[in-house]
Structure 1
Amino acid sequence: MRERLTQFREILRYVPRFRDRVFVIALDGAVVEDENFPNLLLDIALLRSLSIRVVMVHGAAHQIKRYAERMHVPPSDTDGTGITDRDTLQVAITAANRVTHEILEGLLANDLRATCPNAVVAHPKGILGGVDHQFTGRVERIDVVFLQTLLEHDIIPVIPPLGCDGAGNSYRLNSDAVAVEVAKSLRAIKLVFLTTEGGIRNTAGAVVRQLTVEEADAYLKRNKADLSPNALTKLGHAVRAGKEGVERVHVIDGREQEGLLGEVFSNEGIGTLVYANEYQSIRPARKSDVRAVFNLIQQGVKSEELAKRTRADIEKQIADFYVFEVDRNPVACAALIRYPEENKAEIASVYVDDRYANQGIGLKLIHYAENLTRAEGFGTLFCLSTQAINYFVQKAGFALGTPDDLPPTRRDRYEQQGRKSQVLVKVLNEESSRRGAEPQR
């Protein structure tokens, strides 16, 4: 019971970040036929209950192969990247429509409204290298207004690997490419690829847990010959999605029970996360930043949000500070103070220039400090606040504490200052600490 409550709290911690945001969930056709598919639909129902907007994009390569055999049609292409002749196109339409219908049936069984919109406008892939790809297409554009209208009315769009042009011609598409275009167009916060292979594996066969977009690109080039065709397309499209603005791309095993929830609602996850490096603008402060940090803190002191610090104090402690840059100018700061003997660390002096408020910068600094704290093996992160108590609790996952939670030296200063700040505490996951700093999934 306690474990289930812990899992529930873990999910709730993510809800404010994901509410009213878009998840694009891309399923391989084989996942739809797996025995875990009904459980997957329950997971999607839970996402919807948390006000997360869901778009589903599905493949049909598995079904196309079977239908082609049944109809005695040798398929010229099954994954939407090679040549698609007229017979294969008809098989693809039949197979894709069947998969779409199965998904719509399953969603309705879970009291979820859904529809298959004609929101993908495509054009022919054309003649490449002297080869006519016939009815293989590429995405020209996504009808964003149409999809947003459906999402605003709590209707899940279910998008097949097919597209049409303005003249009414149909084309076979690669479902992974469709998913990337949909995620980009809707500014999805997550793109989740559900496969029957699980995450991207290294040469030893272990799942690679996380890669930045740059690391994933290098990994793809270095290990191209060793990756399966499925892993190749998933990682390639993950890199493209990350480069073109999708913050988080997940590759997981769609056959694993509660795998979708385990991936998106925990730092550990079960598959591979490819993420845009949202911390690229955060760096350790330098001596040349003393003036900028002092000016930021002075703004917080005037509003009584931060404790007073002299310029000399900041110069002496500059090694503890981190700054967030915009166009190479520090616009926010935070300090991370370690207490190794107590296995605790403090995040302090978090402040964002008023001109850059309400852009999520403060939360990025907090997550950055948390990841550093985990990497260094500390068990607890704490902070003191007089005005941002709800922010640290609701947004950053801290809990109310007491002065007894402070290291002795910090408690002495706390009592001397007399500000009666609220103590806030975050006990860090021990397993995550052992694994090191990880991005917020």
Structure 2
Amino acid sequence: MGVLDVRSVLEYVPYFRGTLFVVHVAESLVDSEELVDALLDLDALQEIGVKLVLIAEDDRAASLYDRSRRCEMRSACVQASLSAGACAVERVREILGRNQVPVVSSGACGNFDELSVQLAVDLKAVKYIALMDGNIPMRGGKPIFSILEREVSQAADVTHAYVLEMAAEVCRRGIARVHLLDGRRRGVLVDELFSEEGVGTMVHTDSYREIRPLEEEDIPELLSMIARSVVDAKLVDRTYEDILARLDAYSVFTLDGSIVGCVALYPYPDDDCAELGCLYIKYDYAGHGYGRALCQFVEKKAKDLGFSHIFAVSRSAVEYFRDHLHYAELSRDVLPAARRRALELSGRSSGVFGREL
């Protein structure tokens, strides 16, 4: 991601504060130079209120503990490995309770051994982060930035598919986010955790990506998000009051709680149709299918409401509606009378596109 945008970091601080991350470190990374970056980043996470547990693969806790101390982490070593049973788990809990980072050995090989995963489940961790020495799942030579747990079994042409399946199983046991990261990459933790797309692979439950109704407190964020397109005359200008008056029409696309896109559905019941409007995806998130997902969402909503047709009016997204969504180009004459008058009064040279539902 290059130089990290401080504003994007600040957005995540409230979400992370008070949560617990379990970080599993591959045995081959414990003595690596690259691990220093990760430990410094973990120390920063601890400073903003994230609770951490460090698990060293096999029996490398003592070495990992020494490295954490060199990075001035508030850590403590668990002398027994997780294979020792309840005594090790209780020691982990004790260290967490005094606001230190427990460093413990898994006593087993691999990034997803049973005892490490069970510890994360028992501690109600929100993230299980596997710092791996390579073996990151790829598709077409590129990382799979995120994938739903329920979609893993259908994933095709993926390298290291077995790693994806193990991560999916961790999700099924109650961990909402499992991150597969190349521990040899400098700054991998920050680049992964403080951006919506990240740089590794995140296997997640449905809650990571969500399309939900717009709430009144979201309106200022929505207005600021679409402001550039309004200034460039790509979207119609809207005020706080305009949106509040039709709040039920708007939906937003969120990634990990952050709004990255929006859409509206304006019904015309007397004409048996609805309008798809205010479609927008933040520039940094274009090209990932989020716009299509929003369109499919409102199409289904319109169909469920009993409408037979949906239409959109646009002059900046002609190719998108025509070539990507395969909407038909229509005459303005097909528009509901009130919508046609509003378009003519606006003086905008917009096209009309639509499809049957």
Distance 1:306 1:10 in 2: 17
Distance 1:367 1:157 in 2: 27
Shift of 1:9: 2.0
What are the within-5 Å matches in structure 2 for residues 384-395 of structure 1?
none
Shift of 1:210: 0.8
CA contact (8 A) 1:248 1:276 kept: yes
Shift of 1:279: 6.7
* 3-state SS, counterpart of residue 435 of structure 1: coil
Identity, in percent, stands at: 22
Shift of 1:8: 2.0
Q: Which residue number in structure 1 is paired with residue 288 of structure 2?
A: 435
CA contact (8 A) 1:31 1:37 kept: yes
Distance 1:216 1:306 in 2: 32
The yes-or-no answer on 1:188 pairing with 2:125 is: yes
What are the within-5 Å matches in structure 2 for residues 280-319 of structure 1?
none
Distance 1:114 1:364 in 2: 41
The yes-or-no answer on 1:156 pairing with 2:101 is: yes
Distance 2:189 2:132 in 1: 11
Question: Which of residues 161, 181, 197 is equivalent to 2:134?
Answer: 197
Cα distance per residue 1:221-255 (max 9 Å; x no partner): x55xx744xx62x3222111111111111111101
Cα distance per residue 1:335-382 (max 9 Å; x no partner): x9x98832788875889xxxxxxxxxx999796792443xx7x9xxxx
Q: Alignment length, in residue pairs?
A: 258
CA contact (8 A) 2:78 2:92 kept: no
* 3-state SS, counterpart of residue 54 of structure 2: strand
Q: Which residue number in structure 1 is paired with residue 151 of structure 2?
A: 215
Distance 2:29 2:132 in 1: 6
What are the within-5 Å matches in structure 2 for residues 23-422 of structure 1?
23-60=21-58, 96=59, 99-112=60-73, 113-118=75-80, 120=82, 145-162=90-107, 172=108, 174-177=110-113, 178-197=115-134, 199-202=136-139, 204-219=140-155, 222=156, 227-228=159-160, 232=162, 234-278=163-207, 341-342=234-235, 370-373=259-262
- CA separation of 1:175/1:211 partners in 2, compared to 1, >3 Å: closer, same or farther? closer
Distance 2:255 2:143 in 1: 28
Distance 1:280 1:268 in 2: 11
* Paired residue type of 1:24: V
Distance 2:182 2:23 in 1: 12
Shift of 1:179: 3.0
Shift of 1:146: 3.8
Structure 2 length-normalised TM: 0.60
CA contact (8 A) 1:250 1:273 kept: yes
- CA separation of 1:100/1:363 partners in 2, compared to 1, >3 Å: closer, same or farther? farther
* Paired residue type of 2:71: N
Shift of 1:114: 1.9
* Paired residue type of 1:248: R
Shift of 1:428: 7.1
Cα distance per residue 1:378-403 (max 9 Å; x no partner): 9xxxxxxxxxxxxxxxxxxxxxxxxx
- CA separation of 1:144/1:261 partners in 2, compared to 1, >3 Å: closer, same or farther? same
CA contact (8 A) 1:161 1:175 kept: no
Shift of 1:54: 0.9
Distance 1:110 1:243 in 2: 34
Q: Structure 2: 5+ residue runs without aligned partners?
A: 220-225, 265-277, 292-357
* Paired residue type of 2:259: E
CA contact (8 A) 1:117 1:157 kept: no
- CA separation of 1:241/1:117 partners in 2, compared to 1, >3 Å: closer, same or farther? farther
Shift of 1:175: 4.5
* Paired residue type of 1:103: L
- CA separation of 1:149/1:243 partners in 2, compared to 1, >3 Å: closer, same or farther? same
- CA separation of 1:143/1:429 partners in 2, compared to 1, >3 Å: closer, same or farther? farther
* 3-state SS, counterpart of residue 184 of structure 1: helix
Q: Structure 1: 5+ residue runs without aligned partners?
A: 61-95, 123-139, 163-171, 286-296, 308-335, 352-361, 379-409, 411-426
* 3-state SS, counterpart of residue 434 of structure 1: coil
Distance 2:191 2:218 in 1: 37
Q: Which residue number in structure 1 is paired with residue 307 of structure 2?
A: none
- CA separation of 1:343/1:194 partners in 2, compared to 1, >3 Å: closer, same or farther? farther
Shift of 1:158: 1.6
- CA separation of 1:273/1:280 partners in 2, compared to 1, >3 Å: closer, same or farther? closer
- CA separation of 1:369/1:194 partners in 2, compared to 1, >3 Å: closer, same or farther? closer
Q: Which residue number in structure 2 is paired with residue 402 of structure 1?
A: none
* 3-state SS, counterpart of residue 143 of structure 2: coil
Shift of 1:32: 1.7
Distance 1:45 1:306 in 2: 32
